[in-house]
Chain A
């Protein structure tokens, strides 16, 4: 009984995937509302080559943006988390909530000054500017995640290391970093997914040639009189990297998801 219900619900959750794949494989002439659920008579792989050709530069932008911003924000978050967890910083009790608040704000409330700032510093429109923006607004979550991981490292261990003469960087390099593998993976997966999927900054702060995949997809699907096979093939291309990460490293993805909900 329970199993049957689970299977039915699973089918319901997978229906959009079926529709997407089926539609993407149809020739434009074969796409018809009444036969939307039927399989294509002949698979039309051309949708993918057209979509890929159109999307290739934007996929490249997304990869550069997501990888660079993920690595930088993770590295900074790791150092921040270490400091905030293990060193007595004046006002640390207030600093942490103030930092974390930054990940909940609606970005509409900073977008106008950010836009101005980007124009003044000539960072507007290009990938370096977007990377900077994603690094800065990624700092709250990476700092929070690393701090909560490092809380599990006993202070005695650090004390012993510093008696042995290890300094700040020594402890970080030889004690903290070797223990940071899984947290680093959790944080990177989380950040990569977030940045890859982000849309608001991408649509307002990037010039056409620097636009990431989400903007390209929205432009393609939002345009008039598109045959639906292209947006569907495009959706699959845009979704593939994050879905692959989810399927292969789901355990770490879920850990990031749960840790993001604070301590609740």
Chain B
């Protein structure tokens, strides 16, 4: 039906976009990877004919075990805790808001609008506003005094306290253990749904991980020559609150859209069978919202891993307790002229985001094509 000429025109139309994205996404990623394996930086960054040497994986090794890069390892720790708290709380609050709105008698549009408006703001605006709200001696902390209570004392953004402290030299143990727990949970899910082949694959991987753990191979890798403590910086609570305030409306919108697609007949059938309102919610609504939770975790998770603007605006790039890899990448690259190290951090971020995004893309495009 389509003439050959039109097919040619179509190909010509799409070509510029493909070339642009090919260069700006994949070409630049390749260049970043190459740069991350050099000693490009300091004087070489300034000169017009820089002398750049290939140094292999030295930059990565330095970031993960070098004495001077302790900040980066705390960045990674901060990023991990921020991601867990932000994603978890956004899902929880979003689900709560969606359920609430679904039950409302009046004002549905109004409340939806109010809960979602922070999404339209820039993270820089959110950061500026919450920086004021979370001043140690003002904002949220003096709120209790309006009711005659003592003022709050918590240092939302500047606390130097840490909890959940662990030794970085055992990081492989922790990673292995976390992977084991996640895989075991997935295996349990497969077992319950009777997916034999997937269950077997997961069990094999679990067995391998247990084997690695038991063999003591992880203890023999000496990552650091010194014990180095990292932990959850309590100053991150301020950033988490602002981020949840901004993004919980998004999960609410996703869940609300999901609740609206549940056919009434399904709930009606449950009601006829004598299910209470809560039982319908628990056994009809919630299971059907699971795929939405899965995509929300991916979307929010990748936002959390990349978080930069919010922290920049709330605490500034030089505030150690709330720093994340994206901030340090900015400082190393644009203030320190350490272009190779900045590139290496960029690649690490890309790998982390890809672990989340690639399975998601494969999954959505595979089901989408059918």
A residues with a Cβ closer than 8 A to B are 2-3, 5-6, 9-10, 13-16, 19-20, 23, 33-34, 36-37, 76, 79-80, 83-84, 87-89, 93, 95-102, 104-115, 117, 133, 136-137, 139-140, 143, 159, 162-163, 167-169, 193, 196-200, 203-204, 214, 217-218, 221-222, 228, 231-232, 234-235, 238-239, 242-243, 245-247, 250, 253-254, 257-258, 260-264
Contacts and interface: CB of A to CB of B under 8 A. Distances in A.
Interface in B208-224: none
A197 B113 contact: no
A113 B103 contact: no
Given A16-B130, A108-B306, A239-B122, 15 more contacts: A2-B104, A2-B105, A14-B114, A19-B139, A87-B7, A109-B28, A112-B31, A113-B35, A137-B24, A139-B17, A168-B13, A232-B132, A242-B121, A246-B120, A257-B253
28 contacts: A13-B115, A13-B117, A13-B245, A19-B139, A34-B142, A37-B146, A89-B11, A101-B357, A104-B357, A106-B326, A108-B330, A110-B25, A112-B333, A112-B342, A113-B28, A114-B28, A136-B21, A199-B312, A204-B330, A214-B124, A214-B125, A222-B316, A242-B120, A254-B253, A261-B295, A262-B295, A264-B294, A264-B295
A76 B17 contact: yes
A16 B313 CA distance: 16
A185 to B, nearest CB: 15
A238 B21 CA distance: 30
Given A19-B132, A101-B25, A112-B32, A214 B122 contact: yes
Interface centre among B21, B143, B292 (most CB of A within 10 A): B21
B103 A2 contact: yes
A114 to B, nearest CB: 6
B7 A88 contact: yes
Contact of A139 (B20, B296, B350): B20
Contacts of B291: 264
A232 B347 contact: no
A212 B25 CA distance: 24
A57 B305 CA distance: 33
Contacts of B26: 98
Interface of B: 1-3, 5-7, 9-11, 13-14, 16-18, 20-21, 24-29, 31-32, 35, 97, 100-101, 103-107, 110-111, 113-125, 127-133, 135, 137-139, 142-143, 145-146, 245, 250, 253-254, 257, 291-292, 294-296, 299, 302, 305-306, 308-309, 312-313, 316, 325-326, 329-330, 333-334, 339, 342-343, 345-347, 349-350, 353, 357-358, 360-362, 364-365, 367-369
A136 B130 CA distance: 32
3 shortest interchain CB distances as A-B pairs: A264-B295, A33-B138, A197-B122
B132 A197 contact: no
B143 A258 contact: no
Interface centre among A19, A105, A112, A232 (most CB of B within 10 A): A112
Contact of B132 (A80, A105, A217, A231): A231
Nearest to B327: A108
Interface centre among B133, B135, B346 (most CB of A within 10 A): B346
A88 to B, nearest CB: 7
B101 A221 contact: no
A161 to B, nearest CB: 10
A137 B361 CA distance: 17
A233 to B, nearest CB: 11
B128 A136 contact: no
Nearest to B296: A261
Interface centre among B115, B294, B302 (most CB of A within 10 A): B115
Contact of A110 (B28, B101, B138, B296): B28
A153 to B, nearest CB: 15
A23 B132 contact: yes
Contacts of A115: 333
A146 B280 CA distance: 37
A258 B24 CA distance: 26
Contacts of A197: 121-125
Given A16-B133, A168-B6, A199-B312, A105 B29 contact: yes
Contacts of B130: 16
Given A136-B20, A217-B124, A232-B132, A13 B114 contact: yes
Interface centre among B105, B114, B308 (most CB of A within 10 A): B114
Nearest to B328: A108
A105 B353 contact: yes
Nearest to B110: A10
A112 B339 contact: yes
B309 A83 contact: no
A193 B119 CA distance: 10
Contacts of A198: 122
Contacts of B330: 108, 200, 203-204
A198 B368 CA distance: 30
Contact of B350 (A79, A109, A112, A242): A109
B345 A108 contact: yes
